[in-house]
Structure 1
Amino acid sequence: MSRKFIWIILMGLCTSLVARAQISESLPKAIEQMKEVPVYTSFPFGAIKPVGWLKTQMQADLNGFVGNLDKLVPDLINDPIYGSGRLHKNSKAKDLGNNKEGDAEGDEQYKWWNSESQSNWWDGYLRNALLLNDVKHIARVKKYISDILSTQDADGYLGIYASDLRYHFTSENGELWAKATLYRGLLAYYEYTKEPQVWNALVRAVDNVMTNYPVDASHPFDTGKNYNGGVGHGLTFTDVLDRMYQLTGEEKYLDYALFLYLDYSKFYAWERDAQLTNALNKEYKLNCHAVHTYEHLRPMIVAASASEDVKIKKALMEYLRKINTVTTATGGAIGDEWIGGREADATHTGYEYCSLHELLDSYGVLLQRTGDTALAESIENIFYNAAQGARHPYHSCIAYLKTDNSYQMDGTRNGDAEPGKTQTRYKYSPVHQDVAVCCAPNAGRITPYFLQNAWMQGKNRTLIANLLMPCRLDTRIDGNRVCIENQTEYPLKNEYKFVITLERPMDLTLKIRRPQWAEGVICSESYKEEGQYLIFKRKFNSKDQVRLSFKTNVRVVKGIKGEHYFFYGIQAFAYPLKFIEEKGRQYIDGFTDYFYKPVENTRYKYIENHRSIYRNGKLEVFLLNEVTGKEEKVELLPISQTILRQAGF
């Protein structure tokens, strides 16, 4: 359909902002008004699929470390911990190949570790395979589903413990955690295939938990005064309960989620940041293992939705403010490995890939519950900057830990001397077995979870594009098949073509989020604006297109510690440092660990008269060379294209 372009451009200047986009002025009220039913309805898994560069990247991952982790660490992934190898009273911790540096003391945690590695990997692997419709990998997924369902007991138990241990713990355990990681993947598979045997198995398995840990008559989180990190991870069983509620409308699942959060808040917890008392305390600083801290945001969100107690909603808002203080401008929240009461810093605080995934997922849950668009901005920031910037640009591997200012990647943080320690997390690896096989599986999960939040549905069947990315929504409205494909190179380019395919013409309302950084809009047709959304409401014909671009300028965003970051659109830019690449451990078929040492010690300082220009995917800026004391024109690249770099100036 040919339409005259309508130009609407709002002129703006390069701005200086504090990087706290997830705390909008409207969020406190939105949280206060949260109810059991979310503001938006999420689409079933599989309704949103990748296209363009995102599909290409996912396929490369599936051909790479995501699709081969079971071959890279077969002893861990093939451990029959859910079946013939279930844990019992005489079970001993297995040799997982990790050096245990930086871990909490005690071997009990290592007994359940394989369940996390396996189930998080399968969750990400099966989502990638299904979204890409990869026949070879889907065949493996189907066998896995059949095998795992065959381990379910007659009473519905589906987990890692033999009958002499299950549900009877006074110390560290992975009962609920092993179930949460497994059931999340099973739920995705069910939503995609609608296979009744998978759903029936899930219903029986969740009922088995609620029967053996009855509401208000048991204490799943009362496990003594020693390390209980696996128990804390188990609080994310609320992920399963929340999804079961949304699929069925049965309030028993939300009631149980609320029970779990309140029980967790009553007893000693090694990972205590999200406990109600601590979350409410404005003087309390986040201190614990970062992955727990960010994943526990989701149980708080679900509990706040399910409860009339205003204290939980206040605690949630205060918790978000605390997370904001530990997050860098690129979305990288402290995770190296404990937060330790610190504030985010471009050089001195690192972030873990697991933490990036968990915080992104938590913001997605809150976005659905509140409809607050600043959360969508934060999700994109995490994915396109911190997460893409912690992937290797051309090898199939990821950094376990990464800093915004990444001056060295040979084990320790920026080459810091650590006498008596064997820190190895600051490197690139497809596995990271010497630390823990957790970040590689979560790197396989993050893209499918990111995709899942691209589109949501509002009132009156309004279709809402919350996240900007190359993807295709495939759904039905009033029996009419509706497909909308966002053809874009975003974030490299801020241009989008939404192609609508219909079985028959129909009235539709589309809402497309206008990013906070957008200073102007160029669109192929007229629209209305409502908050941060562009609204298109009319009768659409098949193959209609909405062509759209957002105008922007170079922005300077100020970090918590005063560092200056350069952004264009959603992308953060960094000065790439020259390096020497060294290979480490060799795996199968060329999978390798990589270490990087700098061959230059150039550091730049921000100046007000930076005269920044965006040109051909790069930024040209003037900065002060700290070595020579002179101003220089410097070329910055998107942070996703860098290995060693300076991002904060």
Structure 2
Amino acid sequence: MRAGIQRERDVRIGISHRVGVGCGLFMCAAAMVCGAPECPVYEPLLLREIQPRGWMAGQLRNDALRGVAGNLQKVRPQYTPATWVHKTGSAGAAELTGNWLDGYTRMAYYGGYASERSKVNRYVREILDAQEPSGYVGNMPADLRWKRLNRDLFNESRTGVALLAYYEMTGEQEALDAVIATADVIMANYNEDNPPFIYQPGDENYRAEPVEGEEGADDFVDDGDPAKPKPRKINGHVLMYVDVCEWLYRLTGEKKYVEYAEFLYRQYSESNDIGPDDIKLDVLLDPEIPLEGHGAHVAEHFRVPFFLACATGKDIYYKASQAALEKFSRFRTPSGALVSDEGVHGQMPLPEQGYEYCATTEMTASLASALQKFGNPEVGDWIEWLVFNAAQGARTPDGTMINYLSAATVTRAKERMNLGYPHNSNGRWHYSPAHQVGGSCCTANAVKLMPYYVGSMWMRSADGAGLAALLLGPSEVRTRVGGVLVTIREETGYPFEDRVRFHFETAAPVEFPFEVRIPGWAGSVETYAPRAAVTEGKGRKIFRKKWRTGDTVELKFGHPVRLRECVNGEVAIARGPLLYAQPLPAEKKVLKKSRGGVPEFTEWELLPESGEPAAPWSIAPINPDAGFKAVENPAYDPERPWAHPRWFLEGPLYLRRGKGAVSRLKPLGSTFLRQAAFPVRRDVSPP
């Protein structure tokens, strides 16, 4: 095998054996506080203590000022606080605006532009001014609350998370107080006497009017009897009020939020009136049951047992957490995304299999939760792979459009596709600033993705004694360690650069352990840390010394070219945390010259150039005389690396007729139509 080229299979994380439960899933839980390892391993920092730098800051700034993230109201005017101020009861508007505001608040404060911060401040002020005397902050009219069918818990979860992000960015106590007050109202109304996930007589009379295009508007329970009315099934998004419970517990330390989160998960797991079932405890613990449900649901639900495992210490939740990690790894596409062409459907993670932007964002948040709780360095590898490949490969570099659905291998990106999968024929694959299907849910969730990555790059050790750089990239952390103000600046072009340099500034000399996660793909690691004691653990290096202003730590990673085997036997080609693909010639067809009357935001689809076969390339068997090598791009732009990446991979590919050619592969996020996995040809000889 050629030196510098590795062949690997995707690593599965977690347990692969059947988990036995010796008593009822929620009964005798006290007896299960035994086998879980001590967790969490890390504690999150406040959002305002981390700042992006370099290309990450540039991308966020561009998205906020010129991309759809900062201009979504122009193309979808319903993204406004009016849903709260006027108590519209719209589940879709609250979900989508809340998701957008959560991401945009972080983006605006990371970007540092006064105009964007002013917009966020104005929106939050309108929401807070609509708070009722009871403490309730939400969009449901009084006569529609606590009726299950309205998704009010999910509405309040998106409101709550947006306000908590604002609190952590600004320190505005009123935002935190509003979330606490609303939580008290919710816990008083959804309880054992009025369970939130079980139908009660008359529930069907309290359904809010469905919003046209709203995700789930046509989600009905069908028992096969055409004579019976088909009430809408309770939507699984509502479980995610657990997000608010976890955040409030972290900020206040009050156990009532843990107890309420466990109550919600117990209700969810025991109810037949709510779905999907994938994360219900008995289903999750059975490795023979594949993932089937809506991808965004299962991706967000993924983090619920993580929180409960650490907050309760119960072994049953730890087993569920590890089972979730293992099960999810089976449905990971070559780009790192969860199979989700709206639903997972138990489908194989093929290179051409669709994945949904909503699910990609939620998987990023859930995996970051797993990394924080359990410290698996492999999870950090997965997050970087997911964000730098699946997410960047489903958006335009300028941030004006996304694909609602994308794939590792994309041979056409049409508005309507007939690929034989349940949902991908309906306006999801083309490039758009605000897809109509799902009420633009993916556009709103896309705003959150990179801010969520930034917020998880740095964490504190659980004992509070040290800091850890867990997700790599240009950034800065500014916090107190041992009572001393410490700033660490991470200078790098990662994932386009092989070196990562950390520069320290301290208000006074202070000793603490500084940890850096070492990517699993690194072929070698060179370190430079003068006078620091260096220890190594699984997937990490820990540097300890009395740190002073001017101290540095530098790491240089070997970036071997690696072959990753896909489930269909094809081979994907990677270097570092980036998947590389063969760009395919494309013809652009403009569907809308402006979206919402705004000429900057067009909408288009891509078709193969006339006469070009789809995905024509294959790869010869790798031997010592053939392989791919990194070639530096003379047009590399460190400010816009996805449009102008630093490295190409050059190597031999073959057309169907066996004709060889030296091909130039690009990072997935630098391509549109592309082939990202290649069959290994046995009928041609390597050059």
Fold agreement, TM-score > 0.5: yes
The residue number in structure 2 matching 1:105 is none
Cα separation, partners in 2 of 1:395 and 1:305, compared to 1, 3 Å: closer
Question: Which of 128, 142, 146 is the matching residue for 1:163?
Answer: 142
Q: Distance in 2 between matches of 1:40 and 1:370?
A: 8
AA aligned to 1:532 is: G
The residue number in structure 2 matching 1:482 is 486
Are the aligned partners of 2:389 and 2:668 in contact in 1 as well (CA < 8 Å)? yes
Q: Does 1:198 find its partner at 2:175? A: yes
Question: Which of 577, 581, 585 is the matching residue for 1:574?
Answer: 581
The residue number in structure 2 matching 1:213 is 190
1:139 positional shift: 1.0
The residue number in structure 2 matching 1:318 is 323
Q: Does 1:445 find its partner at 2:445? A: no
1:614 positional shift: 1.3
The residue number in structure 2 matching 1:528 is 535
Q: Distance in 1 between matches of 2:271 and 2:104?
A: 35
Q: Does 1:590 find its partner at 2:609? A: no
Cα separation, partners in 2 of 1:230 and 1:620, compared to 1, 3 Å: farther
Q: Does 1:344 find its partner at 2:349? A: yes
Are the aligned partners of 2:409 and 2:676 in contact in 1 as well (CA < 8 Å)? yes
The residue number in structure 1 matching 2:631 is 615
Q: Does 1:38 find its partner at 2:54? A: no
| Count of aligned residue pairs for this structure pair | 606
Cα separation, partners in 2 of 1:77 and 1:201, compared to 1, 3 Å: same
Question: Which of 279, 282, 300 is the matching residue for 2:284?
Answer: 279
The residue number in structure 2 matching 1:48 is 50
Deviations 1:259-307 (A, max 9, x none): 1001001112231111112112222111111110111011122233344
1:17 positional shift: 1.7
Are the aligned partners of 2:68 and 2:399 in contact in 1 as well (CA < 8 Å)? no
1:160 positional shift: 2.1
Cα separation, partners in 2 of 1:420 and 1:152, compared to 1, 3 Å: closer
The residue number in structure 2 matching 1:7 is none
AA aligned to 1:606 is: I
Are the aligned partners of 1:501 and 1:542 in contact in 2 as well (CA < 8 Å)? yes
Q: Which moved more, 1:130-139 or 1:432-441?
A: 432-441
Q: What secondary structure is seen at the aligned counterpart in 2 of 1:86? A: coil
The within-5 A match list for 1:239-638 is 239-268=243-272, 269-307=274-312, 309-347=314-352, 349-394=353-398, 396-413=400-417, 416=419, 423-458=426-461, 459=463, 461-525=465-529, 527-585=534-592, 586-587=594-595, 588-599=598-609, 600-601=612-613, 602-609=615-622, 610-616=626-632, 617-626=647-656, 628-638=657-667
Q: What secondary structure is seen at the aligned counterpart in 2 of 1:316? A: helix
Q: Distance in 1 between matches of 2:406 and 2:291?
A: 20
Q: Distance in 1 between matches of 2:104 and 2:491?
A: 25
Q: Distance in 1 between matches of 2:424 and 2:475?
A: 44
AA aligned to 1:480 is: V
Are the aligned partners of 1:66 and 1:125 in contact in 2 as well (CA < 8 Å)? yes
Q: Does 1:646 find its partner at 2:675? A: yes
Q: What secondary structure is seen at the aligned counterpart in 2 of 1:115? A: helix
Q: Distance in 1 between matches of 2:381 and 2:563?
A: 16
The residue number in structure 2 matching 1:188 is 165
Cα separation, partners in 2 of 1:314 and 1:507, compared to 1, 3 Å: closer
Are the aligned partners of 2:619 and 2:654 in contact in 1 as well (CA < 8 Å)? yes
Q: Does 1:16 find its partner at 2:7? A: yes
AA aligned to 2:570 is: E
Are the aligned partners of 2:276 and 2:293 in contact in 1 as well (CA < 8 Å)? yes
Q: Which moved more, 1:199-208 or 1:426-435?
A: 426-435
Are the aligned partners of 1:425 and 1:435 in contact in 2 as well (CA < 8 Å)? no
The gaps in structure 1 that reach 5 residues or longer are 1-10, 88-110
1:56 positional shift: 0.5
Deviations 1:611-641 (A, max 9, x none): 1111210111222322x22333211101110
Deviations 1:434-483 (A, max 9, x none): 44211111111011110111111113521101011111001112332211
1:149 positional shift: 0.9
Q: What secondary structure is seen at the aligned counterpart in 1 of 2:350? A: coil
Q: Distance in 1 between matches of 2:528 and 2:6?
A: 28
Q: What secondary structure is seen at the aligned counterpart in 1 of 2:503? A: strand
1:361 positional shift: 0.5
Cα separation, partners in 2 of 1:590 and 1:248, compared to 1, 3 Å: same
Q: Distance in 2 between matches of 1:567 and 1:235?
A: 37
AA aligned to 1:605 is: S
AA aligned to 1:203 is: I
Q: What secondary structure is seen at the aligned counterpart in 2 of 1:456? A: strand
AA aligned to 1:218 is: N
Percent identical pairs in the alignment equals 30
1:31 positional shift: 12
| Deviating 4+ runs (over 6 angstroms) | 417-421
The residue number in structure 1 matching 2:105 is 126
The residue number in structure 2 matching 1:3 is none
Cα separation, partners in 2 of 1:229 and 1:561, compared to 1, 3 Å: farther
Are the aligned partners of 1:484 and 1:500 in contact in 2 as well (CA < 8 Å)? yes
Q: What secondary structure is seen at the aligned counterpart in 1 of 2:282? A: helix
1:395 positional shift: 5.7
Q: Distance in 2 between matches of 1:306 and 1:394?
A: 41
Q: Distance in 1 between matches of 2:424 and 2:617?
A: 31
Are the aligned partners of 1:555 and 1:568 in contact in 2 as well (CA < 8 Å)? yes
The residue number in structure 2 matching 1:84 is 86
Task: Tell me the C-alpha RMSD between the 2 structures.
Answer: 2.4
Q: Distance in 1 between matches of 2:502 and 2:411?
A: 40
Q: What secondary structure is seen at the aligned counterpart in 2 of 1:572? A: strand
Q: Distance in 2 between matches of 1:352 and 1:453?
A: 22
Are the aligned partners of 1:228 and 1:270 in contact in 2 as well (CA < 8 Å)? no
Cα separation, partners in 2 of 1:32 and 1:234, compared to 1, 3 Å: farther
1:178 positional shift: 0.4
Q: What secondary structure is seen at the aligned counterpart in 2 of 1:436? A: helix
Q: What secondary structure is seen at the aligned counterpart in 2 of 1:623? A: strand
Q: Distance in 1 between matches of 2:34 and 2:293?
A: 24
1:371 positional shift: 1.1
Q: Distance in 1 between matches of 2:423 and 2:255?
A: 52
Q: Distance in 2 between matches of 1:419 and 1:82?
A: 34
Cα separation, partners in 2 of 1:158 and 1:522, compared to 1, 3 Å: same
1:230 positional shift: 6.0
Q: What secondary structure is seen at the aligned counterpart in 2 of 1:46? A: helix
AA aligned to 1:583 is: V
Q: Distance in 1 between matches of 2:541 and 2:385?
A: 20
AA aligned to 1:117 is: L
AA aligned to 1:578 is: P
Cα separation, partners in 2 of 1:230 and 1:647, compared to 1, 3 Å: farther
Q: What secondary structure is seen at the aligned counterpart in 1 of 2:303? A: helix
1:510 positional shift: 0.9
